[in-house]
Structure 1
Amino acid sequence: MVKLRGHHLICLHFFKGKGYGKDFIDNISKVIEKARQSEIEIVDGTDDVCGAYPYNRDGFCTYSGNADQEVRRLDELAVKLLNVRNTVGWNHLKCRIPEIIEVWKEEACRDCDWNKTCFIE
């Protein structure tokens, strides 16, 4: 079973393999492949993606001064918008994302450093 935090339930669907280092890209690719084939356990905090994230320090996001607080806000928003708890399947998420994407873009993507990477063709 793959462990994912809230915002990764949405953001991984837009992953293009750009904007990150090779090790992190390889890890995300493996996590996505596994998520497509098994149930996803929704976790609070560090997940299977964060383990290889270069700004993960002892379970906290250190990308910027308030990054951990912001990531946790996005996790809560994602879980609320998707209306999921505990476990979920990749295909269920894939079906739900079009229904919530406009709110997600406004609330989460607007100030995200990777928003242009996610929505390029």
Structure 2
Amino acid sequence: MYQLRGHHIFCLLGYRGMGYSKEYVENMTMLHQTLRENPKTWIQLIEGPDRLCEKFPNTSEYHCEEKGIAERDSAILEKMELKIGQILTWEEIEAKIQKYIVPSDINTVCESCSWRSYGVCEEGVQEILNGSGLREVK
């Protein structure tokens, strides 16, 4: 089982192999591939820093405990009708995305995210809506 904070659900949708450091990318790629290959993987939704935050480089400003990030976590979970502490499969999370999320939600919920300008998160949402699952990262 993986512990995951709210906004990392959206980060996983847009993930294309880019990140803050080599270690961060390796960690994110491993989780992304696991969920892509086995959507029945269990996820526990948590508040605050998760396993992905553990590999955030100490050479960058650590934002994982900032109020704005926590607010983004809450907004995403609320929009998807999910709660902190809930345990469900990645497949069930994808079903919630299909039910409650549209690509334009990225522009409002993730307005201050530096990765938003790449446009890949909207693409990732659309791929889930189309039933394609997570995109393969090469």
Please state which band the TM-score falls in when normalised by the shorter chain.
0.7 to 0.9
- Matched with 1:69 is 67
SS of 1:40's partner is: strand
Query: Residue 2 of structure 2 contacts residue 51 of structure 2 at CA under 8 Å; is this kept in 1?
Result: yes
The count of corresponding residues between Structure 1 and Structure 2 is 116
| Residues 1:19 and 1:50: Cα distance change in structure 2 (over 3 Å) | closer
More helix by share: 1
Output the TM-score relative to the length of structure 1: 0.77
Any stretches of 5+ residues in structure 1 without a counterpart? none
- Matched with 2:109 is 108
Question: Which of 82, 85, 88 is the matching residue for 1:84?
Answer: 82
Query: Residue 3 of structure 1 contacts residue 48 of structure 1 at CA under 8 Å; is this kept in 2?
Result: yes
| Residues 1:23 and 1:73: Cα distance change in structure 2 (over 3 Å) | same
With 30-39 and 11-20 compared, the bigger mean Cα shift is at 30-39
Q: Give 1:2 deviation, angstroms.
A: 0.4
| Residues 1:6 and 1:55: Cα distance change in structure 2 (over 3 Å) | farther
| Residues 1:52 and 1:25: Cα distance change in structure 2 (over 3 Å) | same
Any stretches of 5+ residues in structure 2 without a counterpart? 124-138
- Partner Cα distance (2:12, 2:87) in 1: 16
Q: Give 1:96 deviation, angstroms.
A: 2.7
SS of 1:41's partner is: strand
- Matched with 1:18 is 18
2:43 maps to 1:40: yes
CA RMSD of aligned residues (A): 2.8
Query: Residue 16 of structure 1 contacts residue 117 of structure 1 at CA under 8 Å; is this kept in 2?
Result: no
Q: Give 1:88 deviation, angstroms.
A: 2.0
Output the TM-score relative to the length of structure 2: 0.69
Q: Which amino acid aligns with 2:56?
A: Y
- Matched with 2:52 is 49
Give a deviation string over 1:48-88, Cα, whole Å, max 9, x none. 100101259xxxx7349xx7101100111111011123112
